[in-house]
Amino acid sequence: MPIGCLGGFNFPYFSKDKKLTKSHIFSEFIGDSNLMAYLPDEPDIRYLPREFLLSVLFFGARDKYLKLYEIYKDIQLQKSTTGNKKFFAKITPEMQGQLKNFKPVNL
């Protein structure tokens, strides 16, 4: 991580879903000695800024940062009102059989 470079890598968190919170970001550091080298011994995440953790991820493990950023973009897409929402429907086996035999009227 370049000296004096901090910031610019922040994005919102979603406390309702418990996604992209400081705890969620810090879980990416667990077991990665390269990333933990940027933190004090036995770190207390209450005192580490969220933006600092994201900056360390950006420079130290860009793949992990991009994974979190992808989660952020997916949540934003779900919340958008532009019609790009993803919907999931549970289909019963009976309904699945009817869908297989579906014939559109406007051919």
Place of tokens 């130290």: 60
Q: Could you tell me if 28 and 61 are in contact, meaning their C-beta atoms sit under 8 angstroms apart?
A: yes
Closest of 11, 61, 67 to residue 36, by C-alpha:
61
Query: Per 3-state DSSP, what percentage of the chain is helix, strand, and coil (rounded to 5)?
Result: 45, 0, 50
**Confidence class for position 95, pLDDT limits 50, 70, 90:** confident
User: How far is residue 11's CA from residue 50's CA, in Å, rounded to a whole number?
Assistant: 10
Q: Flag the least confident range among 14-18, 28-32, 54-58, 74-78.
A: 14-18
Compute the chain's Rg from CA coordinates: 21
**Confidence class for position 29, pLDDT limits 50, 70, 90:** very high
pLDDT value, residue 83: 59
User: How far is residue 76's CA from residue 13's CA, in Å, rounded to a whole number?
Assistant: 11
Of the spans 10-19, 45-54, 85-94, which averages the highest pLDDT? 45-54
| 49 CB-near residues (< 8 Å, 6+ apart) | none
Look up the pTM and report it: 0.63
Q: Could you tell me if 58 and 65 are in contact, meaning their C-beta atoms sit under 8 angstroms apart?
A: yes
pLDDT tens digits, residue range 42-89? 889 899 988 889 888 998 899 999 999 998 888 887 776 555 566 677
Share of the chain above pLDDT 70, in %: 81
The answer, yes or no, to whether residue 32 has pLDDT greater than 60, is yes
